[in-house]
Structure 1
Amino acid sequence: MTPPPSRGLVGLGIGLAAAGVATAAGVAAGRVTRERTARLAVLAPAGAYAHVADRELAVVADDGVPLHVEVDDPADDAARKGAPTVVLSHGYTLSLRSWVLQRKALTRAGYRVVLWDQRSHGRSEVAASESCTIDQLGRDLHRVIEEVVPEGPLALIGHSMGGMTMMSMAEQFPEVVRERVVAAAFVATSAGGTNMMTLGFGQFVGRLLGRLGPRFLARMGTQQKLVNTARRLGRDVEDLIVDHYSFASPVAQHTVRYTGDMIMGTPLQVMADFLPSINVHDKQAALAQFHGVETLVVNGQQDLLTPPDHSEAIVRLVPGAEHVVVEDAGHIIMLEHPEVINEQLLELIDRGMRAATAHVDIERKPRVRRTVTDLSKRRRVAKARRSGRSA
């Protein structure tokens, strides 16, 4: 049946408008991509994200899911006597590769580093949908520690969903935190208690996304091959979206692609599986287990996924916690401002080791809040752009 003229014209108009928007977005994205490739490559030189672990292994979770784990050992002349093992937990739709610059810095500083891919992420096995919960991730982290770091002091570091995983483990296995953890860092994360899925659009739209997001992603997940094809055809637009939600300052094209490959390499069904648990996440009570632990809370000033108020809530619940806000920083802060994050983590672990040795009452420390500007990066970006204009 031929559609009525008016309906056909409306459909044609919508189609042309969509095509126009997509074309405009593609042109704009292409311009941004060219600048990141030509001028900003200095921010992520060749080989910056290359790394080979000293050891790889599989740790079997309590429900039988194999979890991919990597271990880096410091050189003998760099190893610190009595130092904690650092355990890094990554965020939603990322993998342990997101910590590549931190694992290098920590190992150089003399620490043993353990990283793992959370279930259904990275190289860990895809788990049953019903097991994709924050509570299960807490049990997974405990299994990794139990298997790979069965004794000795620990420093726990978690980004986004990885921070939630730390809270979940503390809630279920409080003795691990009380007896072994000397330092904890919550990076761009949240203790929950409010709607998590705002994406910078506010609570009303956030609640709508929280309800509809899992169903939409699950439906799209049945067309994963088609989605993968669309990705290849529209990489510039994909990069523009990844850049918007991940960063708040100029980064190299290699950084955007590296991040986008982690995010979009996560199957849509896996994204859908975890969203309901993230959206109702509330581990505020679990933060009581970190009382007396040297704690750092870090967030980007322009983070759209876990805005600064989420970090401020964690600080209020952990006496003595230090709060560092990084200007011109988004959600994937450890790749956007790696030198700042590396410095903050190394200082945190040093404080934790000193406090454990001197038996410092950390809960009595005054709260410290600092705003940090990555001046070194600003200078490098300005210099790169001046060089580009001269050329």
Structure 2
Amino acid sequence: MGSSDRHDQLRARDTGRRQGASGLPRRRHVSPANRSLAGLGIGLAAAGVAAAAGIAAGRVTKERHARLAVLAPAGAYAHTPDLELVVIADDGVPLHVEVDEPAPDAATGDKPTVVFSHGFCLSLESWVLQRKELIRDGHRVVTWDQRGHGRSGRGTEESCDIDQLGRDLYRVIEEVAPDGQLVLVGHSMGGMTTMALADQHPDLIRDRVVATAFVATSAGGAQLVSLGFGQYFGKLVGRFGPGVLDRLSARPGLVRTALRAGRDIEEFLVERWSFASPVPPAAVRLTGDMIFGTPLDVMADFLPTFDRHDKRDALVHFHGVEVLVLNGNHDVLTPPEHSEEIVHLIPGAEHVVIEEAGHIIMLEHPEVLNEQFAGLIERGTRAAAEGIEIARKPRVRRTVTDLAKRRRVAKARRGQSSA
């Protein structure tokens, strides 16, 4: 049986687990009070989308020139991996994994394998520009879709949990990168997944991981589901959001009607929560496809785990590992202060804040991230080879401005104006 046939078979088996004896899709129990709140949420969501439509109609047209195609050459986000496979999680959920081997003309040596874990409502496609750069630099790269996202299976409602994601990541590493040095990179929920892995397998971190990057993430102990609405309203979103999303997932026609008004509305919403500077239309489209391609009930199932998330104690296992913490200064989902405790609890960790950057930094400022990752890996491998005591390094916080991108945007705007 081919891997694609096995994947389809396992996906069908997994879907069956999420259904009741009647064969109907599993539904979350919603109390009468929550049903009222959910109904209110649906009304607010519909009203919000309608309002966004009016705003977007003018704003998207007005700012269209800021999302210039020249920022991304044709085919920039296309990529074919060397290997696609399915790794079976410890509870039977199929996880979609892709592996890239080093470029044939790259001097590889003994470079570590880099493992990427994506964020909530995204997929492994979010790392496309980083994986291309790393394989050119001679690294083996592993990317995977977290359960319920991308091409991976979904599992039960109870399995949509950060600790389970940590076990999933361990299975991926066990299957496709069982030996050799590792670099772990996690964005948002993916960073939390890395922390859960360390909590469960500290020996793996100690023995094999030479460097780790936490991108736009949090160790917990703070209100994570604020969505840019502030502390009070953010708590309401975290508390009642699952019920609202579950109700919406039962009414796909409402969602389709809201989005049928046009891509402009979708792009407006994506730009509001994802970016803080001009990005090419293809980046907005890719991000929108990942976000709106995530089932609403999967979003609902995961929201409670963010409110419970607290992996501050697990950070001790990264002592002695070269650690880089990255944030966008205009990230409305996980602003820089959400990551400060990671830096505080890991001696020698570096904190880099990128100006004019939102939550999806890897697509908004790819060259900056590529440069930061290259430096991180070089420091980590050198420290491992020379026995450098990373914990004795002073804590460093730097602010980085993507001047090269600023110049490209300004040049393109001038050219467009003259045209």
Regarding TM over 0.5, the answer is: yes
Contact (CA 8 Å) 2:53, 2:261: kept in 1 or not? no
- Deviations along 1:44-87, one digit per CA (max 9) or x if unpaired, are 22100000000000000000000000000012431422211000
Q: Distance in 1 between matches of 2:277 and 2:299?
A: 26
Residue 64 (structure 2) aligns with: 34
The correspondence for 2:144, drawn from 116, 132, 146, is 116
| Residue 18 (structure 1) shift | 8.2
Do the aligned partners of 1:324 and 1:372 also contact (CA within 8 Å) in 2? yes
Q: Provide the C-alpha distance between the structure 2 equivalents of 1:125 and 1:307, rounded to a whole number of angstroms.
A: 30
Q: TM-score, normalised by structure 2?
A: 0.86
1:127 counterpart SS class: coil
Closer, same or farther: CA 29–232 of 1 in aligned 2, 3 Å: farther
**What residue in structure 2 maps to residue 326 of structure 1?**
354
- Of 374, 390, 394, the match for 1:362: 390
User: Does 1:99 pair with 2:146?
Assistant: no
The one-letter code of the counterpart of 2:309 is H
Structure 1 stretch displaced more, 168-177 or 216-225: 216-225
Question: Could you say what secondary structure the match of 1:94 adopts?
Answer: coil
**What do the CA deviations read for 1:123-155 (whole angstroms, capped 9, x no partner)?**
001221110000000000000000111111100
Structure 1 residue 224 displacement after superposition: 2.5
Deviates more, 1:79-88 or 1:265-274: 79-88
Match of 1:89 in 2: 117
SS in 1 for 2:339: helix
- Partners of 1:159 and 1:19 in 2: how far apart? 27
Corresponding position of 1:335: 363
Please tell me whether residue 289 in structure 1 is matched to residue 304 in structure 2: no
Secondary structure of 1:386's aligned partner = helix
Query: Aligned equivalents of 2:48 and 2:101: distance in 1?
Result: 52
Residue 366 to residue 26, structure 1, CA distance change in 2 (3 Å): closer
Residue 274, structure 1, aligned to residue 305, structure 2: no
CA 1:106/1:155 → structure 2, altered by over 3 Å: closer, same or farther?
same
**Amino acid paired to 1:362:** I
**Superposition CA RMSD, Å:** 1.7
Q: Residues 274-298 of structure 1: CA distance to partner in whole angstroms, max 9, x if unpaired?
A: 0000122110111110000000000
Q: Please give the alpha-carbon distance, in whole angstroms, between the structure 2 residues aligned to 1:285 and 1:376.
A: 39
1:242 to 247, 261, 270: 270
Whole-angstrom distance in 2 between the partners of 1:353 and 1:20: 52
The CA deviation at 1:387 is: 1.1
Distance in 2 separating the partners of 1:47 and 1:148 = 28
What letter corresponds to residue 402 of structure 2 in structure 1?
A: D
Q: Confirm or deny: 8 A CA contact 2:182 2:208 kept in the other structure.
A: yes
- Partner of 2:158, secondary structure, is helix
**Paired residue secondary structure (2:373):** helix
2:97 is equivalent to residue 73 of structure 1: no
Aligned to 2:183, what secondary structure does the other structure show? strand
The partner residue of 2:225 within 197, 217, 235 is 197
Q: Is the 8 A contact 2:103 2:138 kept in 1?
A: yes
The 3 A distance-change label for structure 1 pair 199 and 359 is same
The answer to whether the aligner puts 1:315 opposite 2:343 as a matched pair is yes
Structure 1 unaligned regions, length at least 5: 1-13
- Do 1:245 and 1:305's aligned partners in 2 also have CA atoms closer than 8 Å? yes
Decide whether the 8 Å contact of 1:218 with 1:269 is kept in 2: yes
Check conservation: 1:224, 1:268, Cα contact below 8 A.
no
Change (3 A) 1:241 1:18: closer
Would the aligned equivalents of 1:135 and 1:165 in 2 still touch at CA under 8 Å? yes
Q: Is 2:53–2:265's contact at 8 Å kept on the other side of the alignment?
A: no
Aligned-residue sequence identity (percent) comes to: 64
Q: Does the 8 A contact of 1:90 with 1:98 survive in 2?
A: yes
Q: Distance in 1 between matches of 2:48 and 2:137?
A: 52
Opposite residue 145 of structure 1, the aligned amino acid is I
Q: Which whole-Å CA distance do the structure 1 matches of 2:121 and 2:375 have between them?
A: 28
> In the TM superposition, what is the alpha-carbon distance from 1:166 to its structure 2 partner?
0.1
Tell me the equivalent position of 1:5. Answer: none
Give the Å deviation of 1:23: 5.1
Task: Tell me the equivalent position of 1:24.
Answer: 54
Question: Structure 2: which amino acid aligns with 1:162?
Answer: G
Q: Cα distance, 1:199 vs. partner?
A: 1.6
Preserved CA contact (<8 Å) 1:29 1:239: no
The runs of at least 4 aligned residues of structure 1 exceeding 6 Å deviation read 17-20
Show structure 2 runs of 5+ residues with no match.
1-43
In structure 2, the CA distance between the partners of 1:22 and 1:366, relative to structure 1 (3 Å rule), is closer
Distance 1:289 1:26, change over 3 A: same
Residue 127 (str. 1) matches residue 155 (str. 2)? yes
After superposition, the Cα gap between the structure-2 partners of 1:309 and 1:23, relative to the gap in structure 1 and judged at 3 Å, is: closer
Q: Which residue in the other structure is 1:46 paired with?
A: 74
Between the aligned partners of 1:359 and 1:18, the Cα distance in structure 2 is: 55
Whole-angstrom CA distance in 1 between matches of 2:328 and 2:408: 20
Q: Closer, same or farther in 2 for the Cα pair 1:30/1:364, shift >3 Å?
A: closer
Task: Select which of 163, 183, 186 maps to 2:191.
Answer: 163
